[in-house]
Amino acid sequence: MSLAADPFLATLALVGAVIIISALLSGLIERSGFPQVAVLLGLGAVLGPYGLSLIHLDLGSPVLRAVSTLSLALVLFTDALSLDLAEIGRHLKLTLLVVGPGTLVSTVLITLAAHGLLGLGWPAAAILGAALASTDPVLLRGLLRRTDIPSSARLALRLEAGLNDVVLLPVVLVAMALVGGAQGAAHSWSRMGIDLFLLGPGAGVGIGFLGVSALDLARKRLGIRRDYESLYSLGIAFAAYAAAESVHGSGFLAAFAAGMTISFFDVELCDCFQEYGETTAELALLFTFVLLGSSLIWTGVAMADGPTLLFAAIALLVRPLTILASLGPARLVDRKSLALIAWFGPRGLSSLLLVLLPVFAGMPGSERLFSICCLVVLLSVILHGGSLMVLGRFKDRRRQEPEPPAARSPLPVLNPHGEEPPERIPERIDVAELQRLQSLGEPAILLDVRTQRSLEASGAAMKDAVRIDPERSAKEAERLQLPREAWLVAFCA
């Protein structure tokens, strides 16, 4: 039986292909700066009707609906979980400006353009405006991982990507209700308000509170394996979504509320809790991109007439202009950071996931909204993804210039006594053992291998420790010329 003849087998093969290809090309893509999204869209095109014809999807596909729903719920949950409420409080003005002009003003202006240029009704135009005001975390991820990006730019973009979807989602849901005829009696509005703003978030808060409380209690009384703690995050996200939908609330808002609740209580969680959720969300997003890239996203090219191209240009230029107009006079960031924040507001999968909600609900005319959104996303992948490549090449040219050696404490010398190391090297070492080794003259180097998230959250550093990025440990050790014969004592908490 061929893959095309068996949908389950084709789906399983597609999942395997996405994971294998994404993993094998991850290093090359990171070094080159080439947008990973473009690779996945190309993979989808190869597997779709225009290539090997292994994937045949339409907008009514249950596979597309399931994967899209899963992706959006996980993205909202992990976005909320990654938010540092204390950090938001310290940078409240910056947060309000990037979420205000960057999100709400952009939504209004794109809505006006959609109504005027494309002749859409106000609810449909609002759906398109909200979808295209969403800053995509997938396309931003490559930029935010760069070490040469100013911290203020990284903070503003991270806050915007983490908060704007939950601001835009109610706009889409309310506009869908208007198109569906919920604008009738006052009780319809009140019921929609209760479902949208009370039942959904309430279910998320309840599940988040119970989930994190149970986790904290079980860790203290019973102990939890690290691998299962990482899986636990997915359980909370899915349970919050299901609980809200069962009471006719918004499962997406519930997923965000659950993540925000966990962040609010600030329970000490291992990095695996959030990292596994983010990895699973990214996998779902990549899988969705491949599905859309098989044929659906290319429907945007067929929409490329004069008015639609003009609208797409406006949709991409609105945010940079509003960001410059709002953050510039406020002088909260330097010029380089302002330029990066203004330009890098890519439209990607988050926009497509939002515009797919009316499609799955069967809203009249939603297919056209989806195709227009696809055109803008394709242009954004070219413009913003290409910009990342230019930045990467510029950085590589700067690396070729001679740089003075970084100032750091001298590393310990090799053991002058030439004593043989023990045959069995312990996996863990305490502070007392480290001090004993140093007192014996052993070459012991203390390595700070905390993740970037843990490092930023702590703000503290161990004296005389050498900082090494755990994701690039081998290259970092080579760059720092760490002696191969020395004891390398790493700490991560």
Say how far apart CA 124 and CA 114 lie, in whole Å: 9
Find all residues with CB under 8 Å of 38, minimum gap 6, and list them: 381, 385
Q: What whole-number distance in Å separates Cα of residue 162 and Cα of residue 103?
A: 12
Residue 486: the pLDDT is 75
Q: Please report the DSSP string for 385-445 in residue order.
A: HHHHHHHHHHHHHHHHS--PPPP-PPPPPP-TT-PPPPSS--S---HHHHHHHHHTT--EE
CA atoms of 312 and 118, how far apart (whole Å): 11
Q: For the chain, give every residue range classified as CATH 3.40.250.
A: 406-493
Looking at the chain, the domain(s) classified CATH 1.20.1530.20 span 60-292+314-358
3-state class (DSSP) for residue 18: helix
Instruction: Measure the CA–CA gap between 244 and 203, rounded to whole angstroms.
Output: 5
Class for the domain spanning 406-493: alpha beta
Tens-digit pLDDT profile for the chain (493 aa)? 344 556 667 667 777 777 788 788 877 777 777 777 888 888 888 888 888 887 778 898 888 898 899 888 988 998 888 888 888 888 899 999 988 888 999 999 999 999 999 999 999 999 999 999 999 887 787 788 777 788 888 889 988 888 898 899 999 999 998 886 644 455 577 777 887 889 999 999 999 999 989 988 888 888 888 777 778 888 999 999 999 999 988 999 999 999 999 888 866 666 666 777 777 887 888 888 888 988 899 999 988 999 999 999 999 999 999 999 999 888 888 888 999 999 998 998 899 999 999 999 999 999 999 999 999 999 999 998 888 777 655 555 554 444 444 444 444 443 444 444 444 445 566 677 777 777 777 777 777 777 665 665 555 666 667 777 766 666 677 777 777 777 777 776 6
For residues 250-277, b (16+ Cβ closer than 10 Å) or e, as one string? bbbbbbbbbbbbbbeeeeebbbbbbebb
Q: 488 has which bridge partners?
A: 445
Residue of 132, 150, 165 lying closest to 339 (CA atoms): 150
How much is the pLDDT for 181? 61
Topology, domain 60-292+314-358: Na+/H+ antiporter like fold (1.20.1530)
Strand order of the β-sheet with 487-491 is 466-467, 444-448, 487-491
